Amino acid sequence: MKINFDGNFCIISELEEFDPRDIFTCGQAFRWYEEDDGSFTFITHGRVANAKKVGDEILLRGVDRTSFDEIFYDYFDLDRDYKRVIEELSKDDVMKSATEYGKGIRILNQEKFETIISFIISANNQIPRIKKSIEKISEMYGEFLGEDENRKYFSFPSAEKLSKAKPEDLREFARVGFRDKRIVDTANLINNGIINIDEIEKMNLEDARSALQVLPGVGPKVADCILLFAFDRKESFPVDVWIKRVMEELYLKEVTPKSKIAVRGREVFGKNAGFANQYLFYYGRENKLGR
DNA sequence: CCACAGGTGTGTC
DNA sequence: GACACACCTGTG
């Protein structure tokens, strides 16, 4: 991997395992827009940036040397050797196909509170609608970050700010449905310090899972997503309907309860379970496996 | 009008 | 613990 800077641009080259489309559309993140030129504009850490794949290079606009070092290097998980992850996972034909299909995926290291609320919204919901709800919540309660010819940008609100939101406003304007109260109650529990994110970060995987599930709207699947996408627990294995279908069809060969699949996923893929999960989810959903 | 998509909370055994 | 069933909204 080579990194070059040109003012407000960062150019990454000699890195095969980085495709903005795979990274943003694989289901892990919601604060992004696909532009007409095929690039992806995204918001994180109070910043707006744009990622575009041009030939073998990745162009990051809105990323200078300082913000790259402080934010984006970690956000894009650039310290990790995904070639090696893929090698370690490619022990069978299923994973060979899945990693080949999603070879540009990287698991982002996202902001914790935003990820918690985002995945509470994701429950029994679909990506376009989740994106819209989060966008509206940011517009209503976040900070204005700037605008371009396409749209205005807002940061995701703090727990303090969101704890003061009214459930009926979230329902009426952000279209979150029955998740309205869960969102405000969770923001309150975190804002009050009743649930301490820094404490959860220090726990082992099982304790962290249980601690997160104290939050209303956080069950086993959402807890695993939060751990995988914001707490750097790359060994966690969220089981949604797609993972259930793919695992049943390709690995287990029989109908299996979600709770058992979560355990089996971690047994089969070990420390790489989270990566396997993302490759399988993306591969399975895009190809409608098991449907 | 209806069917379908998708995790959690609640209640029952 | 394992299982029903309700819960919102958008799309086709």
Query: Is residue A166 included in any domain, yes or no?
Result: yes
Q: Do A222 and A246 have their domain in common?
A: no
Tokens read off for A237: 């294995």
CB of A223 lies under 7 Å from some atom of strand B: yes
Question: Closest nucleotide to A186's CA, by C1' atom?
Answer: B8
Query: Is residue A64 included in any domain, yes or no?
Result: yes
Residue A70: per-residue pLDDT:
98
A278 is in which domain, residue-wise? 241-286
Closest residue by Cα to residue A255 from A290, A279, A220, A224: A290
Q: Per-residue pLDDT tens for A122-179?
A: 999 999 999 999 999 999 999 999 999 999 999 999 999 999 999 999 999 999 999 9
Q: Do A135 and A218 have their domain in common?
A: yes
Q: Do A200 and A254 have their domain in common?
A: no
Q: Per-residue pLDDT tens for A176-213?
A: 999 999 999 999 999 999 999 999 999 999 999 999 99
Tell whether the torsion through CA atoms of A112, A118, A123 and A128 is positive or negative: negative
Q: Do A209 and A268 have their domain in common?
A: no
The alpha carbon of residue A223 and the mean position of all alpha carbons in its chain are separated, in whole angstroms, by: 12
Residue A289: per-residue pLDDT:
82
Is the distance from CB of A58 to CB of A38 less than 8 angstroms? Answer: no
CB of A216 lies under 7 Å from some atom of strand B: yes
CB of A129 lies under 7 Å from some atom of strand C: yes
Question: Closest nucleotide to A124's CA, by C1' atom?
Answer: B6
Looking up tokens 């991997």, which residue turns up?
A: A1
Distance A175 CA to C8 C1' (A): 8
**Which of A198, A230, A262 is where one domain is finished?**
A230
CB of A49 lies under 7 Å from some atom of strand B: no
Q: Which residues of chain A between 167 and 186 are close to nucleic strand B, CB under 7 A?
A: 178, 182
Question: What CATH code is carried by the domain that includes residue A70?
Answer: 3.30.310.260
Distance A197 CA to C10 C1' (A): 33
CB of A254 lies under 7 Å from some atom of strand C: no
Phi, psi of A29 (to 5 degrees): -130, 155
Query: Is residue A28 included in any domain, yes or no?
Result: yes
Distance A3 CA to B10 C1' (A): 53
CB of A242 lies under 7 Å from some atom of strand B: yes
Q: Do A255 and A146 have their domain in common?
A: no
**Which of A37, A57, A79 is where one domain is finished?**
A79
Higher pLDDT, A288 or A3: A3
Q: Per-residue pLDDT tens for A79-97?
A: 999 999 999 999 999 999 9
Residue A161: per-residue pLDDT:
98
CB of A38 lies under 7 Å from some atom of strand C: no
**Which of A79, A104, A122 is where one domain is finished?**
A79
Tell me which of A52-56, A103-107, A286-290 is least confident. A286-290
Query: Is residue A41 included in any domain, yes or no?
Result: yes
Residue A19: per-residue pLDDT:
98
Q: Do A121 and A226 have their domain in common?
A: yes
Confidence of residue A290 (pLDDT cuts 50, 70, 90): confident
DSSP string, A175-232: --GGGHHHHHHHHHHHHTTSS-HHHHHHS-HHHHHHHHTTSTT--HHHHHHHHHHHS-
Query: Is residue A184 included in any domain, yes or no?
Result: yes
Question: What CATH code is carried by the domain that includes residue A203?
Answer: 1.10.340.30
Q: Which residues of chain A between 84 and 143 are close to nucleic strand B, CB under 7 A?
A: 122-126
Tell whether the torsion through CA atoms of A278, A95, A88 and A263 is positive or negative: positive
Query: Is residue A44 included in any domain, yes or no?
Result: yes
Q: Per-residue pLDDT tens for A230-270?
A: 999 999 999 999 999 999 999 999 999 999 999 999 999 99
Residue A286: per-residue pLDDT:
87
Confidence of residue A220 (pLDDT cuts 50, 70, 90): very high
Query: Is residue A235 included in any domain, yes or no?
Result: no
Question: What CATH code is carried by the domain that includes residue A254?
Answer: 1.10.1670.10
Q: How far apart are CA A115 and CA A65, in angstroms?
A: 26
The pLDDT of residue A291 is above 80: no
Q: Do A117 and A54 have their domain in common?
A: no
Average pLDDT over every residue of A42-52: 98
Residue A195: per-residue pLDDT:
96
Q: Do A29 and A66 have their domain in common?
A: yes
CB of A255 lies under 7 Å from some atom of strand C: no
CB of A171 lies under 7 Å from some atom of strand C: yes
The pLDDT of residue A22 is above 90: yes
Confidence of residue A288 (pLDDT cuts 50, 70, 90): confident
Q: Do A124 and A216 have their domain in common?
A: yes
Say whether A115 sits in a helix, a strand or coil: helix
Q: Do A39 and A15 have their domain in common?
A: yes
CB of A144 lies under 7 Å from some atom of strand C: no
Residue A266: per-residue pLDDT:
93
Q: Do A165 and A221 have their domain in common?
A: yes
Higher pLDDT, A286 or A142: A142
Q: Do A159 and A219 have their domain in common?
A: yes
Our count of domains for chain A comes to: 3
| Chain B nucleotides with an atom closer than 7 Å to a protein C-beta | 5-9
Tokens read off for A142: 């976040």
Query: Is residue A56 included in any domain, yes or no?
Result: yes
